[in-house]
Amino acid sequence: MRVVLATLGSFGDLYPMLAIGQALRARGHEPIIAAPPVYAPRVAALGLAFHPLRPDFPPDVLMEIFGDPVHGGRRLLLDLVFPHVRETYEDLLNATEGADALVVGELVHVARLVAARRGIPWANAMLAPATMMSALDPSIYSWFPAGFHLRHLGTWPQKLMFRLMRRQTTRWAGPLLALQREMGVGTGDIIFADKFSPDLVLALFPRAFGAPQRDWPAAAVQTGFPFFAQEASPETAARIDAFLAAGTPPVVFTLGTTAVHLAHDFYQIAAETAGALGRRAILLMGKNPPPDAPADQVLALDYAPHSLLFPHAAAIVQHGGVGGCAEALRAGVPVLTIPFAFDQPDNAMRMRRIGVGAELPLKKVNWATLEQSLRAVLDNPAFAARAKAVAREIDPERDMAATVAAIEALQVSPAQGSSATLPHAER
């Protein structure tokens, strides 16, 4: 099969597509990554075919949007995604020439139109439970977190909130609705109907993180986290090995690849907190200035693959991106989550609900609260025990095989969803 994997957004959106692309290639298929041009060198380094997909999100604009938990989602759609749907459509139409199937991320709202034009089946890659829009398993939305706390009243508060979301997104999506009308494709329900494929909706997270719900799309198949394997540079790997060998397991502090640009004094507070707790620390801090801390107690790195560090940690302090949550669960290590925006508050709630750690709201982060929260995570053996138990349930090879099998089945039975007999998949 020739499969186009299309995504817009941050590295957190790109990496799962790269993982799936590599798995498809290993099965003898021809994957093509369609993504913003800024990612072209990274895709080329993996030997995967690349096709540019507009818009190319300017880093400064993305940081500004990400730093606004209340209005960031609106700005993302209204300022970046919807105004450029015709460019996205043209680019994706070109990328899918000769393709057998299309797999898209959350923000590629033109997928239904392109698939209809090409006459090919398509699938959604949904990375987190919040994207499934379930009233039966309510999610925390950063623009209105109070809605989650009404869940004890039943599904009607969620349905009312969804109705408001439909109305708002319809107001924002003028360019997309115009394109739909021109092509005679789509219902106009952008978020709750048109974004979901009738062929296949991949729920790329395990049951422990978000169990299947009756109000998920009919074509939903739950497989599991798609882990993208990365390697550290030889110099970074050597520094990590030496640091780990020199003392007790450290606490790893990371804010991912996007929130790290909004760190301010977080890493200095992190280093001081680790010292106060008598713990060593590894800080993944991007281009932020290194903290004033003893080199034998604190290792500051621009970046390193989570899979290289998390299994050796005493605990992980992270921002709640679904990729970081996945790596923490796979490592079997307790977690303190400090969510910023978008799906992160919901992911943080789910990590807490699983029983692998605690949450500290971003607005409450200071030296005292971070020390108190991290101490509670480190001193609670139940968190460590539960983390190890969940890790035993995660099988990356099995889950990726299920994802690939679901995509392969698209060519066999388009427009009917994936077969209920797919290995290791859960409907």
Successive 10-residue mean pLDDT values, the chain, 427 residues: 95 96 98 96 97 86 74 84 97 98 97 97 97 94 79 86 90 95 94 95 97 97 96 94 97 84 84 96 92 93 94 96 96 96 93 97 90 97 98 97 97 46 35
Residue 109 lies in a domain: yes
Tell me whether residue 425 is in a domain.
no
What end-to-end distance do the CA atoms of the chain give, in Å? 24
Q: 248: which residues sit within 8 A by CB, 6+ positions away?
A: 279, 280, 314
Count up the domains in the chain and report the number: 2
Q: What is the structure's pLDDT at 245?
A: 97
79 and 182: one domain?
Answer: yes
What pLDDT score was predicted for residue 340? Answer: 86
Give domain status of residue 419, yes or no: no
Instruction: Give domain status of residue 39, yes or no.
Output: yes
Asked if 25 contacts 68 with a C-beta cutoff of 8 angstroms, the reply is no
Distance CA 117, CA 106 (A): 20
Question: Do 402 and 362 share a structural domain?
Answer: no
Give the C-alpha separation, 233 to 301, whole Å.
Answer: 11
The reply to whether 382 falls in a domain is yes
Q: How far is CA 327 from CA 59, 228, 257, 271, 304, in A?
A: 25, 10, 14, 22, 13
Distances (CA, A) of 275 to 133, 151, 264, 293, 298: 42, 40, 19, 9, 9
CA of residue 157 relative to chain centroid, distance = 26
Asked whether residue 290 falls in the same domain as residue 189, the answer is: no
How do strand 315-318 and strand 335-337 relate by DSSP bridges? parallel
Tokens of 62: 């993305």
Separation between Cα atoms, residue 295 and residue 200, nearest integer Å = 50
What's the distance, CA 40 to chain centroid? 20
Give the pLDDT confidence score for residue 412 in this predicted structure. Answer: 56
Q: Supply the range of the domain harboring residue 268.
A: 234-393
Is 423 domain-assigned? no
265 membership: H or E segment, kind and range:
none
The domain spanning residue 133 has which CATH number? 3.40.50.2000
Q: Are residues 356 and 384 in the same domain?
A: yes
Examine the domain organization and report whether 58 and 190 are in the same domain.
Answer: yes
Q: E strands of 21-137, at which residues?
A: 30-35, 49-52, 101-104, 122-126
Q: What are phi and psi of 18, to 5 degrees?
A: -65, -40
Within this chain, do residues 388 and 407 fall inside the same structural domain, yes or no? no
Please give the pLDDT value at position 87: 98
pLDDT value of residue 418: 36
Amino acid, res. 220: A
Single-letter amino acid, residue 282: I
pTM (two decimals):
0.93
- What are the phi and psi torsion angles at 85 (to 5°)? -65, -30
* 124 and 102 in a common domain: yes
Residue 28 lies in a domain: yes
Quick one: 32 and 173 in the same domain?
A: yes
Secondary structure in 3-state letters for 375-402 = HHHHCCHHHHHHHHHHHHHCCHHHHHHH
Structure tokens at 252: 């790893």
Tell me, yes or no, whether 367 and 267 share the same domain.
Answer: yes
Instruction: Indicate whether 184 and 64 sit together in one domain.
Output: yes
Task: Write out the two tokens for 398.
Answer: 């099995």
Decide: 232 and 300 in contact? Cβ < 8 Å: no
CA distance 226 to 399: 7
Pick from 407, 426, 10, 344: nearest CA to 197: 407
Helix 85-95 vs helix 111-118: crossing angle, to nearest 10: 40
- Alpha-carbon dihedral of residues 334, 338, 341, 347, nearest 10 degrees? 20
Q: Are 48 and 21 in contact (CB under 8 A)?
A: yes
CA separation for the pair 11, 35 (Å, rounded):
10
**Residue with structure tokens 């970074």?**
236
Pair (67, 102) in one structural domain: yes
Domain shared by 214 and 75, yes or no: yes
- Cα–Cα nearest to 137, from 117, 155, 157: 155
Tokens 């307790």 map to which residue? 334
- Specify if 417 maps to a domain: no
